[in-house]
Structure 1
Amino acid sequence: MSAPAGPAPFSARAVLGLLVFGALAFIAALWFMGSGQFDQKGNDGGGHAAGDGLNGYSALAELLEKRGHEVNTIRNAANLDPEGLLILTPPAHADVEEINRIITKHRYTGPTLLILPKWQAVKLPRNPTIKAKDGWVALLGAGSPEWAGEVGGKGLLTATLNNATRSEPGWSGLGLSGRFPQPGAVQTMTSRAVVPLVKDLHLRALAGFWNDGGYYPDLANAAGVEAIENGGQAENLWPVVIVAEPDLLDNYGLADRNRAMLALAIVSATLEDYDLPISFDLTLNGLGAGPNLLALAFSPPFLAATLCFLIAAIVVAWRGMKRFGPPLAALPVFAFGKRQLATNGAALIQRSRRLYLLGAPYSAILRGKVAHLLGIRPGGDPALTESEIDRLLERRGIEPANFSTHAEALRAARTPHDLLRHAHALKTIERKLAR
């Protein structure tokens, strides 16, 4: 049975627009949650690429991006081996074993730039009397990290904090020279395995690269030494550049043009004249995040489930747009007809748990039918009628011949089993007589 279809409450275009908008909003939410865009703790006063304080490196990241480089930040530890230059800015409390592991793993993927920490900074609290932007810090002091002596191996490098006077020229290297933003706290390094790129007045290394047997012609030329091609597996290594004085590259240092040009020169020399993407690590600074949920959904083994979900969504949307035939008219709650009436009555009795009430009326109905088949005058006394039925059944040899016994048992039955057993016996007698 069908009925004429009424007008749809929404047009197909409106439904399609809602579906598309919902899908895009869902995908955007997954991407933002996975990429950490909802996290507002990046600018927390730390010395990393998301920090806007004096000890941060957000200015360096912005400067490199404006110079045409592809700049990224890494929050997922699983992505700490990217193609291109990896810049590490670990804090003073970093795990040196984790630093060495990251550097070693990245040696065959791209160059590494390690900037040692120096400043002890605290984020300025929100105070209406202090005109400070979000992320600005107060420098409490300076100190070399304890783990500096274990970078690349125990005893390979020593970081020292020195005091330079304002009359000293400051630093020089890579064809540039300038002064320190804070001459009272200059961090240098000493190592026989490091070739200096930038030095102070006393020829102490402020920045340099590891001389580990690799072939780095651009860095060697910038340092004024000869690049030696040794051959072997070391030639496949990318360089590692260490900057002991962070004020040459941090926000404090990039306030000066010469230091900004030096920062670009250090990055350019580290890249070895290759056009590679640049990635700043944030995981060592405690800003790690989980994998991007959207990228995870389209990666094995979740790709199969995602495709099944998309196909099911398309089928459901198509099924909602296209109807298979006319709409079915609603059926009445109670169907018409004697059979349905009897079925409804039986269901009501069964639901009310009053089956035993059916015994007496059912025995009376069958008594009347059997009496009619045997030619007994109706309307007589029930007990006499049942006795006469027993006598005639016995005369005709029909089994079971004890109609009255089953009728009395049916009227006294209280369980469904007894009701069915005695009702079946009476029905059998009626069926044999009707043949």
Structure 2
Amino acid sequence: MTDAPSDSSFNPRLIGGVVAVGVAAFIALWALIALGPQLSGGKDGGGHALSKGAPGYAAMIDLLERAGAQVEVRRRVEPYRYQDYTQLAVLTPTHETRPGAMQEILAAQAGAPILIVLPKWQVLQTPGERKKPGWSGPGFRAAAPTRLLPADWFGETEVESEAAKSARGRAILAGRAIDIPLPDEVQTLSGPHLEALIVAPGGGAVLARTKNRDIYILADPDLIDNLAFASRDTARAGAMLLDAISEDADADGFAFDVTLNGFGSQRSLLRFAFVPPFIGITLCLIAAGLLALWQAAMRFGPALRPARAIPVSKAALIANSADLIKQAGRELDSADAYVLNQRAAIARRLHAPAGLDASAIDAWIDRRLTGHNGGFSALARRLPLARSAPEFLADAQALHDIRKDLLRDG
């Protein structure tokens, strides 16, 4: 003999765990899609503020913070100039940066001071070698494309490379002299709308400022990037240069932009769902969904077994017959049959004399009654003449009471 099948074909705890893991994974997936760029650590060895590779600027940011400067890594394109606080926006575009992206971020500054650091190095990955996180691969010099400086903002510009071995650059910014060592191969910039602040031996501008806007352009990034920390003198000179540019622009702090490097967090409804103040609504919706799942999974008491369509009992048979008569609207047509049934039952149980007709049996029953107005015979004649359900029910109940009193049953 085989065992009886279980009431449950699966393990509720196992299914609940699978559902919980699925819901958590779904929420985590959408959260990472929305916040992925913002949560990225930037360990790609590129030339941006989050990078600790050679062309990055993480070392300079750390040095500025240790010196007490207000430094922010900006992940959104929006103006950051306030009435009593101004930041110097440091833009670090790459060779692949679109001109439209530069136009957007320049327009978003709304007149706030800007320092644009042009790219100089392109990094490659060695074929067959796995790149280490945060490390830069082999690099080569590549002149910054002039499309990074839109013509309607800077006019026609030209980027060149000059030999400057053991040369030093000198600038007067904010009333103080800045002396900074130049790389052996320095990248320079020239243009009719630019004012040179630091000049290379060949005459090109290493640091320039636009004549009609408060925008600075550093042509060679090796003055402030992580490569500058190869020597104490270069690192110190780079920090002093940034401080002098900030003071000359009347800025109170630095904001290193990383949106041009692919680490921005753009505005989107999906992102808003996971950041304040809308994160509270998202958590409430998640809690409501979990409560709905819990309520749907819970059941009170044992599992309900399917009932028979027609119960097996005399009471069920009588109830079904009564429902059928009611639905057919034939309640009053059963009066004669009901009277006959009650008369026969009383005569049989009380052993009425044989050979009596219906009238004689009714009279015989009346002689045995006490306390019933009208007697059995009167009700037996009146019941078939009923014209409404309440009238029929009252007389039928009276006949039933007579039977109960005579036969002592229910």
Q: Bin the TM-score by the shorter chain.
A: 0.5 to 0.7
| Residues 75 and 282, structure 1, Cα contact 8 Å, conserved in 2 | yes
| Residues 394 and 401, structure 1, Cα contact 8 Å, conserved in 2 | no
Alpha-carbon distance, 1:180 to partner: 3.2
**Aligned pair partner of 2:245 in 267, 270, 275:** 270
Structure 2 residue ranges without an equivalent (≥5): 1-26, 292-299, 326-335, 363-376, 402-410
One-letter code aligned to 2:40? D
User: TM-score if structure 2 supplies the norm length?
Assistant: 0.60
Alpha-carbon distance, 1:266 to partner: 3.2
The structure whose Rg is larger is: 2
Alpha-carbon distance, 1:388 to partner: 5.1
Q: Does 2:223 match 1:248?
A: yes
Match of 1:163 in 2: 162
Structure 1 residue ranges without an equivalent (≥5): 1-25, 215-238, 317-330, 334-346, 403-422
| Residues 37 and 262, structure 2, Cα contact 8 Å, conserved in 1 | no
User: TM-score if structure 1 supplies the norm length?
Assistant: 0.57
One-letter code aligned to 1:159? E
Alpha-carbon distance, 1:114 to partner: 0.7
Q: How does 1:5-404 map to 2 (within 5 A)?
A: 34=35, 38-40=39-41, 42-77=42-77, 79=78, 81=80, 83-108=86-111, 110-122=112-124, 134-150=134-150, 152-153=152-153, 156-164=155-163, 166=165, 169-174=167-172, 175-181=177-183, 183-184=184-185, 186-212=186-212, 239-272=214-247, 274=250, 276-289=252-265, 296-298=275-277, 305=281, 309=284, 352=311, 357-358=317-318, 376-379=346-349, 396-399=381-384
Alpha-carbon distance, 1:394 to partner: 8.7
Residues 18-71 of structure 1 show CA distances to partners (whole Å, capped at 9, x for unaligned) of: xxxxxxxx9xxx89x84867434x121211001122211111211111111122
Residues 189-236 of structure 1 show CA distances to partners (whole Å, capped at 9, x for unaligned) of: 112222212111133211121111x6xxxxxxxxxxxxxxxxxxxxxx
Instruction: Provide the identity percentage.
Output: 23
**1:332 and 1:139 mapped to 2: Cα distance?**
71
Change (3 A) 1:151 1:48: farther
**2:150 and 2:309 mapped to 1: Cα distance?**
85
Change (3 A) 1:148 1:432: same
Alpha-carbon distance, 1:107 to partner: 3.4
Change (3 A) 1:430 1:150: same
**1:50 and 1:72 mapped to 2: Cα distance?**
11
Higher relative contact order (CA 8 A, sep 6+): 1
Residues 241-269 of structure 1 show CA distances to partners (whole Å, capped at 9, x for unaligned) of: 11111111211123233433332333223
Change (3 A) 1:58 1:430: same
Alpha-carbon distance, 1:348 to partner: 5.9
**1:47 and 1:401 mapped to 2: Cα distance?**
103
Alpha-carbon distance, 1:370 to partner: 8.1
One-letter code aligned to 1:173? A
